[in-house]
């Protein structure tokens, strides 16, 4: 009987604590719903299929503050291509995970952005707006060589983006207590097409 009563009390405290957190930090419940993908396009050259898209609402006051305090931040992009069929099972053709990383150098007052999908050196700018564009506009992301697709075949591409969780040294956890709340993850966006 005592154990049951103690467990009930414990459960009430946990529920009260979680409810209190939602009122103290209202952004927790809705932070994941803000970032979205837009302007999704597929294009091909003679040899390859490419994807283009943007992430909107990826930056807010808290992650901008963290970046300007020198915390390296990465967006990870997931692109998966399936060959669809009338059966329940689609065949996965390719699974891509790539990222864009931003780092601010306060001594030089400049942002460095590395885009893994580009065969280019890091991009450097003093403009945060320009750095944001580099982080959120994905262009010329090579998905698959066309010789892996079948003429007249039906395909589906799924795209998703997320902000990687930041791991801080213990000494900074109290200063940047909000960092764990500014991660985002978009929904999967799906495009069906016939090659």
pTM of the entire predicted model:
0.74
| 18: enclosing H helix or E strand | helix 2-24
pLDDT 10s digits, 11-49: 444 444 444 444 433 333 334 447 899 999 999 999 999
The reported pLDDT for the residue numbered 183 is 61
**H or E stretch covering 15:** helix 2-24
pLDDT at 2: 53
> CA 103 to CA 123: how far, in whole Å?
11
Residues of the chain with pLDDT under 50: 7-8, 10-33, 170-181
């Amino acid at each position: 009987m005592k154990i049951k009563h103690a467990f009930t009390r414990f459960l009430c405290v946990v529920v009260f604590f979680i409810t209190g957190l939602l009122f103290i930090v209202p952004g927790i419940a809705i932070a994941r719903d803000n970032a979205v993908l837009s302007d999704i396009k597929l294009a091909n050259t003679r040899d390859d299929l490419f994807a283009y898209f943007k992430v909107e609402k990826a930056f807010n006051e808290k992650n901008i503050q963290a970046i300007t305090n020198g915390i390296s931040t990465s967006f990870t992009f997931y692109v998966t291509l399936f060959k669809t069929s009338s059966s329940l099972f689609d065949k996965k053709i390719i699974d891509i995970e790539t990222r864009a990383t931003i780092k601010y150098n306060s001594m030089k007052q400049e942002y460095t952005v590395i885009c893994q999908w580009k065969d280019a050196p890091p991009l450097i700018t003093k403009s945060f707006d320009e750095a944001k564009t580099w982080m959120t506009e994905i262009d010329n992301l090579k998905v698959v060589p066309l010789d892996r697709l079948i003429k007249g075949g039906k395909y589906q591409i799924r795209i998703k983006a997320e902000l990687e969780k930041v791991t801080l040294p213990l000494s900074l956890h109290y200063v940047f207590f909000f960092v764990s709340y500014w991660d985002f993850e978009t929904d999967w966006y799906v495009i069906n097409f016939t090659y």
